[in-house]
Structures are given as C-alpha cells and as structure tokens.
Amino acid sequence: MGSGTEVIDVLIIGAGAAGLFCGARAAERGLSVQVVDHAKKPAEKVRISGGGRCNFTNLHTEPSRFISENPYFAKSALARYTPADFLDHLRARDITWREKKLGQLFCDEKSTRVIRMLLDDLETAGGELRLGVRVGAVEARDDGYAIETSQGRQFARNVVIATGGLSIPKMGATGYAYDVARAFGHRIVTPRPALVPFTLSGRLKETAAALSGVACDARIATADGTEFDEAILFTHRGLSGPAVLQASSYWKEGEPVTVNLAPNAHDHLQTEKENHPNHSLARALEATLPARLVGALPDLLIEDGPDAADLTRRLGDIRNARLSKIDHALTGWTLRPAGTEGWRTAEVTTGGVSVDDISSRTMESKRAAGLYFIGECVDVTGWLGGYNFQWAWASAAAAAEALGA
C-alpha cells in the first residue's frame, strides 16, 4: 500500500501515542492511512509511562500547564479535544481508571491496555501499521509527498510527523521531526531534556548520595519564579522527585533553584520553642522532616543553617534571632544544580518544531500544505502528570479532523 506508484491519503511517521491515535481517527473518516515506525514495537513510551499504568491525562488540563514559546498555541487543540473526550473514548472500550492525585488519571490495568486500544482502533478503522521501517527524506511533489523508506519509495497526499522528542534514545528516540521540519524551512526551538532529575557536584553531591532514598515535601522555585509544591527525593547523583522534575522543565543551565524544606511549617521552630522548650532542635525539625535529612542539614544548609551542635541544643537555649535564621535557611535553601541527568532519563523534551509556522487549529505546516506535526516533536511540553499524553491526543485529533479536508 502506498509504495510503487499508488498514492495513499495519509502516511504517519511514528507509531507512538500521537501517531496511532491520529491514524485511527483519520482512517475512521474513510482516508487510506499507513502508520510506519522504525522500532519493532509500537508505543513503547506508553508502555513504560506512569510506572507501567499510563497516566494518560490530567483533569486540570489548561494551557498554563504547557511550556511553549507561544503559550497560546496549544489552546485551540486542547479546547477541542479535552480529557473528558478521552475518558469517553476509554469508557466506550471498557477501560477503567483512577485518580491518584492532582487530577492525574491512571489505568486500572497495565499501560499495555492503552496500547492495545490504540492498535485495535487503527485496525478496526482500516488503517495499516508497519514496524521496523527506516524512513528517509520527505520530498514535496505536485500531488503530495514522496518518502524514501527501507520498503521502497512511498507516496502520500499528506504526511504526519509524529516521531516524538529526543528523550530516552535507547528506546528509539531521534531528531527526525526536526530534520524534516528544517528541510521545509521551519525553525527549531533548541530541544532540552525536561522532567529530568538534577545532578549536583562536590560536597553537595556527596551529601545527597548519603541521603539517597530520602524524600520530603518541599516547594521548589526556579529563577523565573515558577514554583512547584510536591515531594523531592535525594539520589546518588543529586535530586529527583516530582517537584524537581517539574522544576527541571523551567530550569536553564547555570541558574540556581530555591528549595523550601518547610513549606507547610511557617514559624514552626518558634512555636515549638514556646510549647516545648526542653525539646532539642533536632526533635523539633523531625516533626516535619525525615530524621536522616535533619542529621544532614549542617552539610546541606551551609549558610545560616544549623550546625551539629545546634541540633542537640534545647530549643529554650537558642535565641529567637538564631531560630529565625535557621528557619530562613530551611525555607530558602538555594543551590545551583551541576546539570541534569540528560536525555538518558528525561521523560520529555522541551523545545522542538517551532509553533510559528504551524496552524494551531490543524497542526498543518504553514510552509508545506499536507505536512503536519503532532505530539511531542512540537514545541509544546506539558507538566508532569498526564499533560503530555493529553497533548498527544489533542494535537492528533486536531490533525485527524483536518487531514484531506
């Protein structure tokens, strides 16, 4: 199909969340559709997502939870295909889910159930899937596009690029979308690893490594003032946990981040001193922080933080001015990450094909009619918590509706 001289309606490159969803919806409209992927298995990132349970959407989806050079770009697609629409889709296929926290919806079954749904939808609608296909350049012709593949030259009236971002190269991530986009004159917003742990260096790294596995609630703020209230986790290399992953999407190399280790305990130490003057400082801190972290505070909070002797002192023996300095050090721990763990562990890519020259209504290139970019390859990146899949579904639905129209 589509090779030799036959021209199919739609060739979708990339059989991930966006490509498969788009393929089924376009085929349901009666278009001839082929989805190709160089990997041997489709939708591998769906499989590993959400700890194996696919956090497939978020009830609080709104444009402010997406990062893009143009914050308004995602609005149209997100408004026209909402989390409620995706839930209707799942309901019709007897797939059940639960909310874990913060509007994050996960499958009750394994994430492979979502992959099976995507594949069944495509097949039922008459779309074709070909795996293990290497894809080369996309060339414009009068009647559409010619695409070099390891299965010969393919011809299609429309081409949808759904090859995702650069994260996790060992799972087959490539910069293919950026190459195609550049070839048609699109600008690329520098791709950066996002939703990724921070690495630390020197003494801070050693302290974090010693605390590896310790987690606590925190508020983390990046230099641009973006804040996230969630858990942080110390690791052998530095810091992880949901709050850190979220902050990493807004962080730029060399910038500091500020961590509030007592977000819900304002003036906690003063109150403890009034109520329990005989308690040690360590005991007061352990009311809100893990004991191992309290023991390591002298190494972490170098400026104005408690030293080892302070930790054993009675609260009643510590002057109020000193307590408020310690409180200040706890709530404003400023550190400079050495970097991030990079593409190897990043969940997503910020940046990508600039939205300047893409229609926000249809995802079609403004430079090449019949060429579409959907999903993560576009410069739209969601927060942690199901937002990236919602973007994959919504951008795929927008393109599928417009294809061949």
List interacting residues with ligand FDA (CB under 6 A): 13-19, 37-39, 44-45, 48-50, 54-55, 135, 162-164, 167-168, 172-174, 176, 347-348, 375-376, 386-389, 392
Decide if 233 contacts 239 (C-beta within 8 A).
Answer: yes
Rounded to the nearest whole angstrom, what is the least distance from the CB of residue 336 to ligand FDA in the complex? Answer: 26
CB of 100 or CB of 279, closer to ligand FDA: 100
CA-based nearest residue to 288, from 321, 266, 259, 312:
266
CB of 83 or CB of 306, closer to ligand FDA: 83
Rounded to the nearest whole angstrom, what is the least distance from the CB of residue 117 to ligand FDA in the complex? Answer: 14
Rounded to the nearest whole angstrom, what is the least distance from the CB of residue 197 to ligand FDA in the complex? Answer: 12
Residue keyed to tokens 């942080």? 232
CB of 117 or CB of 204, closer to ligand FDA: 117
Nearest-CB residue to ligand FDA? 16
CB of 114 or CB of 326, closer to ligand FDA: 114
CB of 250 or CB of 373, closer to ligand FDA: 373
The torsion angles phi and psi of 206, rounded to 5 degrees, stand at -60, -40
Q: Is the dihedral of CA 16, 19, 22, 25 positive or negative?
A: negative
Decide if 262 contacts 287 (C-beta within 8 A).
Answer: no
State both tokens at 132: 């293990």
CA-based nearest residue to 16, from 392, 378, 357:
392
Rounded to the nearest whole angstrom, what is the least distance from the CB of residue 17 to ligand FDA in the complex? Answer: 4
- From CA 108, how far away is CA 97, in angstroms rounded? 5
State both tokens at 152: 């010969």
Rounded to the nearest whole angstrom, what is the least distance from the CB of residue 369 to ligand FDA in the complex? Answer: 22
Decide if 185 contacts 209 (C-beta within 8 A).
Answer: no
Rounded to the nearest whole angstrom, what is the least distance from the CB of residue 322 to ligand FDA in the complex? Answer: 44
Rounded to the nearest whole angstrom, what is the least distance from the CB of residue 45 to ligand FDA in the complex? Answer: 4
CB of 210 or CB of 402, closer to ligand FDA: 402
The CB-based long-range contact list for 303-306 (8 Å cut-off, 24+ gap) reads 303/329, 304/328, 304/329, 305/329, 305/330, 305/333, 306/281
- From CA 405, how far away is CA 400, in angstroms rounded? 9
- From CA 4, how far away is CA 154, in angstroms rounded? 7
CB of 135 or CB of 403, closer to ligand FDA: 135
CB of 13 or CB of 74, closer to ligand FDA: 13
Rounded to the nearest whole angstrom, what is the least distance from the CB of residue 348 to ligand FDA in the complex? Answer: 5
Decide if 400 contacts 375 (C-beta within 8 A).
Answer: no
